[in-house]
Chain A
Amino acid sequence: MSILEVNNLRVYYDTMRGEVKAVDGVSFKLEKGEIFSIVGESGCGKTTTSNTIMRILPPEAVIKSGSITFDGINLLEIPEKEMKKIRWKRIAMVFQNAMNALNPVKNVGSQIVDAITTHLNIPEAEAWRKVKELFELVGLDPSRLKDYPHEFSGGMRQRVFIAMALSCDPEILIADEPTTGLDVIVQRNILNLLRDLRKKLGLSIILITHDLAAVAQVSDKIAIMYAGKIVEYGNIYDIFTRPRHPYTYLLIKSFPKIGSKKERLVTIKGSPPSLINPPKGCRFHPRCPYAIEKCRIEEPPLVNINNKGLVACHLYDQLNLVI
């Protein structure tokens, strides 16, 4: 059963240089209890998507169309007062670079207590008990509740933020680049923590990341975003063994894969396009080695392949892309 459904979402930014089509027709479903990853390079619209779900977009962002259905409610239509009952209490988020956003002059325990008492109507003593439980849940030593942020390492501060996000027992956790900027060993620990939390709490998790290698280890399903659109969507095994979109294929092939045969890395020419004037037709066509005339003119629809996934490519049934 899907717990969250995003349908044909379009979010544009009004800027001095023109309209930036950051998210341009994105649809996906988050099933209950699954880890769903949105993968893409910087500027592909993945953070805008998650910020729209939380309804925390900056003023210059305009939601052009679409719906986000959560528990039968369209989050884009309800007034802010109603949204406040959902934000953080039912859908919580760990922000990108959050680990640098703790208040340096306040101990971490009381920062989480603040978050709890703001959202839930419970006495402070009870909130402190709750924080202690949360600390244990995310693998932090409860004796360090009264320590200050500078006494925590990067990975531990990320755990503090995960604890804070879980403080009101949400049903959905959105984690925006939770491992970026952490060392490999710590990255792995944080991803394992997310996986454990899903199991223990029955959480549904949306993982936003640029790191294809990291998602391979923890996700159930992934969506690959390119220039504001989802180009491929499916089960993690299908995507990594039999990608249908050239972008997915080239991206996977461009990672050096330790332990396999050393062969020259695949490269993708050029760089991601500007979203003010995205290329016509398929947005990937200027960089795609397989592009044909049709790709320059006509935008490929997102088609269903034997109920195994979705892909937006004119050539999906002609190319034989096997990893």
Chain B
Amino acid sequence: MEILRVENIKKWFPVRTGILSSILFGEKQFIKAVDGVSFTIDEGEVFCLVGESGCGKTTLARLIARLIEPTDGRIYYKGRDIVQMKKKEFRPLRREIQIIFQNPYEALDPRMRIYDILMEPIKLHKKHFEGDPDERIRTVMRDVKLNPDEYLWKFPHELSGGERQRVSIARSLMLYPKLLLADEPASMLDASVRSSILNLLTDLREEYNLTLLYITHDLAQAWYLCERIAVMYLGVIVELGKTDDVINSPLHPYTKALISNIPIPDPRRKTEAIEIKGEVPSPINVPPGCRFHPRCPYFMEGKCDKETPKYLDVGDGHIVACHLYE
């Protein structure tokens, strides 16, 4: 059953310019961070958004959590449009949609003890909280594999990066969420700690019956965790499908390049990387036609730089936006 449906969502941030330049150059400029994204997530699924820095994946998570308002488009959570909803109407849903941020060093208030950090969600939603708050805090601590007696009265600075990320995860679980948005939760951690966070999320998903939207730049993490992957490039999804389909038989030239460039911790498997020229262009001046065309090795003149490619389903929900497959 579908839990989340995102329809043609857009977020354009205005570029701040001086009065003089706005008079001289007229038109206002926008950073098109997210520029028409659609997808659905089923209940209980782990869905992954993969993309390089600046592709709009974090903006998308913030839109779904309703931390920012979209420029255009619809987001349906369990069939209800949360974009049109009034703040007050949305409040009960806030308990169900939770977000974990990338940087565990900034996501926790340095002046609060772990106990108070975890108490905060209960305080904010106390009318709807049943049971003993202290008991709940201890249970959640144990769920994220932290010993409550040892950690509850500590401050964030006394914790390592991995432990802090566990506290952030615990906080997001306090009110039994349904949909968890995890924005690169493992990327800032050391390698020896990263895998334990990935495994923890896998376990929690089972225990809490969670639907997980996992955001990462690391295809290897996506491959390990997720059932379906959407690859984003410059504000749009270029390919979407089941993890194995996308990783084993990628269609879009960008996905192909991305996969061939993943470093593999095994010198015996020296992969031949597809060379891609240049870097991601600025989201202010998005290339016309296919956004990837200036870097694409299969660029077709007169086609790719003129027409925006349509989404094509090649079977089994494997969707690609590329003129090569039309």
Surface stretch bound by A, among B68-76, B126-134, B220-228: B220-228
B161 within 8 A of A: yes
B247 within 8 A of A: yes
18 A-B pairs (CB sep. < 8 Å): A153-B279, A183-B52, A183-B53, A184-B262, A185-B258, A188-B263, A210-B191, A211-B191, A213-B220, A256-B220, A256-B223, A256-B224, A258-B247, A258-B262, A268-B195, A271-B160, A272-B190, A323-B266
Q: In the assembled complex, which residues on chain B have CB atoms less than 8 Å from the CB atom of A265?
A: 195, 198-199, 224
B217 within 8 A of A: yes
A100 within 8 A of B: no
A41 touches B268 (CB 8 A): no
A64 within 8 A of B: no
A83 within 8 A of B: no
Find the A residue at minimum CB distance from B197.
A267
B190 touches A271 (CB 8 A): yes
A266 touches B195 (CB 8 A): yes
B265 touches A257 (CB 8 A): yes
Distance from B148 Cβ to chain A, minimum over Cβ atoms (Å): 17
Distance from B4 Cβ to chain A, minimum over Cβ atoms (Å): 25
| Residue in contact with B265 in the complex, picked from A186, A189, A252, CB distance below 8 Å | A252
A258 touches B279 (CB 8 A): no
Give residues of chain B (230-260) contacting chain A, Cβ–Cβ below 8 Å: 247, 257-259
Give residues of chain B (263-288) contacting chain A, Cβ–Cβ below 8 Å: 263-270, 273, 275-276, 278-280
List the count of A-B residue pairs having beta carbons below 8 Å apart: 127
A320 within 8 A of B: no
B265 touches A216 (CB 8 A): yes
CA distance A255 to B194 in the complex (A): 9
Chain B residues at the A interface, C-beta cutoff of 8 Å: 52-53, 160-163, 190-196, 198-199, 202, 217, 219-221, 223-224, 247, 257-259, 261-270, 273, 275-276, 278-280
A237 touches B190 (CB 8 A): no
CA distance A287 to B25 in the complex (A): 61
| Residue in contact with A184 in the complex, picked from B192, B263, B275, CB distance below 8 Å | B263
CA distance A51 to B132 in the complex (A): 53
Distance from B103 Cβ to chain A, minimum over Cβ atoms (Å): 13
Q: In the assembled complex, which residues on chain A have CB atoms less than 8 Å from the CB atom of B196?
A: 267-269
Of the candidates A154, A210, A255, the one having the most CB atoms from chain B within 10 angstroms of its own CB is A255
B-facing mask of A231-271, CB < 8 A → 1, else 0?
Answer: 00000110011000001001110111111001011111101
Find the A residue at minimum CB distance from B276.
A185
Of the candidates B162, B194, B217, B263, the one having the most CB atoms from chain A within 10 angstroms of its own CB is B263
A271 touches B224 (CB 8 A): no
Find the A residue at minimum CB distance from B53.
A183
Question: What are the 4 closest A-B residue pairs judged by CB atoms, nearest first?
Answer: A256-B224, A213-B263, A254-B195, A267-B196
CA distance A263 to B202 in the complex (A): 12
A183 touches B220 (CB 8 A): no
A214 within 8 A of B: yes
Give residues of chain A (81-123) contacting chain B, Cβ–Cβ below 8 Å: none
Of the candidates A185, A266, A287, the one having the most CB atoms from chain B within 10 angstroms of its own CB is A185
CA distance A222 to B310 in the complex (A): 47
A250 touches B53 (CB 8 A): no
A212 touches B267 (CB 8 A): no
CA distance A165 to B190 in the complex (A): 28
A254 touches B194 (CB 8 A): yes
A256 touches B198 (CB 8 A): yes
